[in-house]
Each structure stands twice: as C-alpha cells, then as structure tokens.
Amino acid sequence: MPRFALKVEYHGGPFSGWQRQRDQPSVQGAIEAALARLEPGAHTIAAAGRTDAGVHALGQVAHCDLSRDWAPFRLMEALNYHLKPQPVAIVDCAAVAPNWHARFSAQERRYSFRLLMRRAPATHDAGLVWQVPHMLDLAAMQEGATHLVGHHDFTTFRSSICQSASPVKTLDMLEIRDVAGQGGPELGFELRARSFLHNQVRSIVGTLERVGRGAWAPQDVRRALEARNRAACGPVCPPQGLYLAEAVYPEDPFTRGALADQAAPARKS
C-alpha cells in the first residue's frame, strides 16, 4: 500500500486533542474520517506528536496508508475538501517509503509558545495566545531557562499521567524572545528536543512565568529541576499558546511534496 506523509496545520480549540477518542472531536478522527471519504473503510494514522486538548499545530506530521497511488497534490486537495469547515488543513503531502513512520522516524520536535503580556483582552489572537495581565522580566526568564537546557531528569516537569518510559530527556533549545523587539507585549518561546514528556512544555512555560513576574528567582528553576519531584514544578500553563511547530526527519519528506506542483504565475507585460 502506498504510504503518504501529511503536514498538518490545525486550531486546537474545537478538539479534545490529536488522539482519536470515542464521542469527542479529535484531529486524528477528523483526518481519518476525511480519508474514509476517499477510500472507504477504517483508517488509522500515526503522528509525530500527540497534542493535548486546545493545543495548536503549524507543522504536525502524520502518515497514512492508501490503496490507490494518489498524486500528492490531489490527495492534499481532496482531504482539505472533506475536512472543511473544521480548522484542520493539510498544508503539504508527499509519497514516502512503506517503512517511513511519522512518529518513529522523527528525530526532533519543535514547539513554539505565544505569551501575550497585557491587561486588555486579546481580540484577533483570542484562543491563540496565553495572556497574562502583567509585564514579565524577560532577562530573568531567559536566565531561568538556561538551567533547563541539556540532558536532565525532567520528573519535575512532566505530568503524573506521562507514559514515557524514562523522565530523562535532552532539551536542545529553549529560547525566549521579545517578538516585536519593543519590550512586549508578546513573548515567543521556541523549544527543540528529540522528544518531549507529557505537559513538559506547558510545565516549563508556567514555571518561567513565575520567574518573569518575580515570584521565583532564576536559580529556583534549577532547584525545581534537581528536586525531581512533580510538586516542585510551577503551575502548568494553559494550552492555547502552544503550537507543535515542526517535526524533523533525517531526510525532509516534503522536499518533493505537493507544494512543488504550485507554479508561479506567468507575468503579463
């Protein structure tokens, strides 16, 4: 059976998360239902990251097996047609080898997080950012973040229901920047690792927010990490600022993907 990689963008708001659940809308369920409109029968797709309820994706990657040898561009178009009006879009699609796996072949996940510091409610960005009603000390947060980068036991920063075999992970990147370069109002977090523990990003962001508002000192982050105790963690922040930004593979499956079919228009002069 031909296997296809799908790059998926979604708004997590209406979904109980990525993973299919009985009686709850899920992103996986939405895509599997769209696949069933193309080729009748049951479909089960795998994904690079299983995002929680309310978490968004810019570049989730999934794979599916189909019996027909679809042209990637046609498959993308057909899926997007059947996904409407749900806020899920296939933004690229490529044929991959039968042993290629969206989850097991991935060598890195990248998450981003949007934090809006202002009192006035968000309008255009409602549901797309975590809003706090006070300013935060970015330099203190950046200093706190340095304690988390590297190879650590992240027991403090994983949820009690995390199913990972080990709490030891390597966090390769944790950067926080002033998005507009004007001292606010938006902070952007970028995190990279081979894999993440359940609630790891939201536990980290929630803890660093405590540092940013002066409730914790930057070095309190190290103490929390070294405690290896969930109770030492700051509060888990809400999901709506979190985005699965990218999944990285040894070879990018999308270099000859569906988007390559889109040509620039001929210029009239």
Q: Are 88 and 60 in contact, with CB atoms under 8 Å apart?
A: no
**Catalytic site residue from 23, 52, 65, 220:** 52
Burial of 153 (0-12, 13-18, 19+ CB in 10 A): middle
**Selected binder of a second copy within 16, 80, 159, 164 (CB under 8 A):** 80
**Selected binder of a second copy within 33, 78, 89, 149 (CB under 8 A):** 89
**Sole window of 135-143, 189-197, 199-207, 244-252 interacting with a second copy (rule: CB under 8 A):** 135-143
Indicate whether 235 belongs to the interface with a second copy (CB under 8 A): no
Beta strand 3-10 with 88-96 is antiparallel
**Selected binder of a second copy within 69, 121, 151, 229 (CB under 8 A):** 121
Indicate whether 163 belongs to the interface with a second copy (CB under 8 A): no
Alpha carbon dihedral 151, 59, 51, 25, in 10-degree steps, equals -170
**Selected binder of a second copy within 25, 87, 167, 188 (CB under 8 A):** 87
Locate all alpha helices (DSSP H) within the chain, ordered by sequence. 27-38, 72-83, 138-146, 200-212, 218-227
Q: Which two tokens stand for residue 217?
A: 């000192």
**Rg of the chain over CA atoms, in angstroms?**
20
The whole-angstrom separation of Cα 211 and Cα 196 is 22
The least CB distance from residue 258 to a second copy, in Å, is 9
Pick between residue 99 and residue 262 the one whose CB is nearest to a second copy: 262
Beta strand 46-47 with 150-153 is unpaired
**Sole window of 121-129, 160-168, 222-230, 248-256 interacting with a second copy (rule: CB under 8 A):** 121-129
* Peptide bond connecting 185 to the previous residue in cis, omega within 30 degrees of 0: yes
Report the binding-site residues for substrate. 111
Contacting residues toward a second copy, per CB under 8 A: 9-11, 56, 76-77, 80, 83-84, 87-91, 118-124, 126, 128, 134-137, 140, 212-218, 262-269
Q: Which residues are catalytic?
A: 52
